[in-house]
Amino acid sequence: MIILYTFINEEKHKSVLDRYLPVFSDDTKRDILRYRRWQDAQLSLLGKILLREGLRTHYDISDAEIRVSPNNKPYLKGNPVHFNISHSKDLVACVIAEFPVGIDVEFFDTSINYLDFEFQMTTEEFEKINGAEDRISSFFTYWTAKEAVIKAHGDGMMIPLDSFEVSNKEGVVNGEKFFIKDIFIDKNYCSCIASKDININNVVPLITYVEIS
């Protein structure tokens, strides 16, 4: 398993678009250029660049064809390698693994009012957050874990966050158990990966920063 990450940069935006957009399909180009904010366009593009770089460098895959499942989860056609992309604020990260996996990264915003998200948590989760010494840190730990599980599951927004509980680094969604692993990418972000494959508990991902020039 590898996790590649990078940060957006406004000064490099035009050069990044000019250099990398031509390597992608016309549909991908249109999707990226449709964004009104440069931040959103660059985050989308960088996620695809990280995936392309990771597949080429670490898995010797240079001609991957990305398809989208009926529940809108991207996958590699005819290839057993799995991936997932997440971004928040200035950070974008891409995980690539030999088994289905989800990743979530969240900017550690200390000004957030965690009470506004009580309805997204189960009663037990919220009680643990509210009783924690560092409530904001506890909130983001639960939030990224639940988001990573949802992304690993693949049904996305069809699964309400409060419909399942995270406990002891596990979560069960519609009868399927998911294993959860905290990871460190950057001190300003909370990060987590999840998978139905229990091997995620033992794997030590190679986490690499990629400089996009």
**Short-list 203, 147, 210, CA closest to 178:** 147
What does the pLDDT read at residue 88? 97
Total number of domains in the chain: 1
* 3 state SS of 156: helix
Average pLDDT of the segment spanning 132-157: 92
Q: Which residue segment(s) compose the domain that 203 sits in?
A: 2-209
What does the pLDDT read at residue 66? 84
Backbone angles phi, psi at 19, to 5 degrees: -80, -40
User: pLDDT over 70 for what percent of the chain?
Assistant: 99
What does the pLDDT read at residue 72? 76
pLDDT at 34 exceeding the cut of 80 = yes
Average pLDDT of the segment spanning 27-49: 95
Report d(CA 55, CA 181) in Å as an integer. Answer: 22
Contact status, residue 206 vs residue 197, Cβ threshold 8 Å: no
CATH number of domain containing 137:
3.90.470.20
The per-residue pLDDT of the chain, averaged, comes to 93
What does the pLDDT read at residue 9? 95
pLDDT at 188 exceeding the cut of 90 = yes
Average pLDDT of the segment spanning 109-137: 95
- What letter does residue 66 receive in the DSSP assignment? E
pLDDT at 92 exceeding the cut of 80 = yes
What does the pLDDT read at residue 157? 66
- Specify the amino acid at residue 77: K
Q: What is the pLDDT of residues 130-143, one digit of tens each?
A: 999 999 999 999 99
